[in-house]
Chain A
Amino acid sequence: MTAGSTARIRVILPPHLRTLAHAGRELTLEIAGQVTVRSVLDALEASYPMLTGTIRDHVTQQRRPFLRFFACEEDLSHDSVDTPLPEAVVSGKEPLLILGAIAGG
């Protein structure tokens, strides 16, 4: 992606956050500049303020421990949030998945 261009990123939220955001299964976010987990979450929270604090901590910005980030069948949860996301995500071919840990109850 060239500098100054805008990417349309597909994001899939876990069901409870869809309810909270009054949104469907998949969202599309426009990201100017480098596409990273951080820039996607910034854009997500800007469009859906009610999600602030639900995916990453308000202050530390750390990922909540029961949530994971996946794309292109890879676990990105432990990568730096400033690592560029795969080209398939940037191009919109693949979504960024935000998943809740599977647990009973």
Chain B
Amino acid sequence: MSNVRVLVGTRKGAFILFSDGKREKWDVTGPHFAGWEIYHVKGSPKSPNRIYASQTSGWFGQIIQRSDDGGKTWIQPGTPPGEPTTGPGGMPKGESNKFVYDTSAETGAPLTTHQFYDGTQHPWEFKRVWHLEPSLTEADTVYAGVEDAAIFRSKDGGKSWQELSGLRGHGTGPKWQPGAGGMCLHTLILDSTNPQRIYIAISAAGAFRTDDGGKTWKPINKGLHSQYIPDPNAEVGHCVHHIAMNGKRPHVLFMQKHWDVMRSDDAGDNWKEISGNLPTDFGFVIDVHAHEPETIYVVPIKSDGEHYVHEGKLRVYRSKTGGNEWEALTKGLPQSNCYVNVLRDAMAVDSLDKCGIYFGTTGGQVYCSNDAGDNWAPIVRDLPAVLSVEVQTLS
């Protein structure tokens, strides 16, 4: 029988939730890295006991953690205790937390500026890793989406990181600007049918796609309409909150934008709105059923000024028609006096039959539905604010 392992990042540590395929009784371990912000934890599809975690702090900066035993023990790759920290050239050897924008003449791009909150130009500065995306085929390869927005790749299990600078050097950088959480690259999707194709999304620049393994990038924001930027139909500048894809149908993408839920049927070249009958189309998360590629899930949030669920009711909305027609899923979820948010990386699906849906809230609850959303139950209720939720289906 299969098991599931849910990886939860919170404001004050990481937690691992484990259950058998029934998904009714759970073992909870943690906090791992207690007291630190854990923006994201994700396992390798190739080697599921290999898990990467982004540990970060306003005081001490970025740390990368790795487990090779399913989260029982952790190491900081590349920094074995007792070894010299610097190599012959004087550069630090322990590079697992070293994210340096590539400005080299050979592979890099000049360190330019982006738009700051006040409209002035501001230099690119590394702050933290928002999202870690392990390769679908190589356990030692993992991608990182960072703030200020850029994409990095490690090919040595997280020991060292190199920027894929073609994205930051795309040329539209001066028009990118931070959202409330910073100018972050928060979404990173790999295409299992085309290893050269990667999708990313940045708040607030929009979505981009590479078809050559990260050398060059193309903005894919046609059809997005954002009233909060000077040109609502601009090529870049849109605050895309999250994108989801069913790996079996990789040319179809679903997007939760700042406002508006969108879909693309041509790998992001064109988007159309599918908000339909949602009570509000502001939100952060969006995900796709593992086996039904036209079944999608969102959690509507009241507004950009009030980041909590609409009408004090925690409702997941499901569309079985690929958008436009939505139904509220409420069984087992609080339907009064609830004012939590669900952040952009805090929803995931397993691949069991029936598909399990998981999400975490800023109130510290992690909910699971073991029947594709019809019924919900909390796995845990009182964690720190949840930043991210990922799930691994283990055979």
Contact = CB atoms under 8 A, between A and B. Distances in A.
Given A14-B59, A16-B57, A54-B97, 6 more contacts: A16-B60, A20-B63, A46-B85, A50-B76, A50-B81, A66-B58
Contact of A49 (B58, B60, B79): B79
Q: Give the most central of A16, A19, A22, A64: most B CB within 10 Å.
A: A16
Give 3 nearest A-B pairs by CB, closest first: A49-B79, A54-B60, A49-B94
18 contacts: A14-B59, A16-B35, A19-B35, A20-B76, A45-B94, A46-B84, A49-B84, A50-B76, A50-B79, A50-B94, A52-B79, A53-B61, A53-B94, A54-B61, A54-B97, A101-B59, A103-B58, A105-B11
A52 B93 CA distance: 9
B231 to A, nearest CB: 36
Interface residues of B, number: 27
Contacts of B92: 45, 52-53, 58
B79 A67 contact: no
Contacts of B83: 49
Nearest to B84: A46
Interface residues of A, number: 27
A28 interface: no
A55 B95 CA distance: 14
Nearest to A105: B11
Contacts of B59: 14, 16, 64, 66-67, 100-101
A55 B82 CA distance: 18
B85 A49 contact: yes
Interface in B360-383: none
Q: Is the interface of B mostly helix, strand, loop or mixed?
A: loop
Interface string B55-87: 001111111000000000000100111111110
Q: Give the most central of B59, B81, B94, B97: most A CB within 10 Å.
A: B59
Contact of B60 (A48, A55, A58, A105): A55
A3 interface: no
A105 B57 CA distance: 12
A48 B81 CA distance: 6
Nearest to B92: A52
B36 interface: yes
Q: Give the most central of A14, A52, A105: most B CB within 10 Å.
A: A52
Contact of B82 (A16, A47, A52): A47
B100 interface: yes
B14 to A, nearest CB: 14
B123 to A, nearest CB: 13
B12 to A, nearest CB: 9
A17 interface: yes
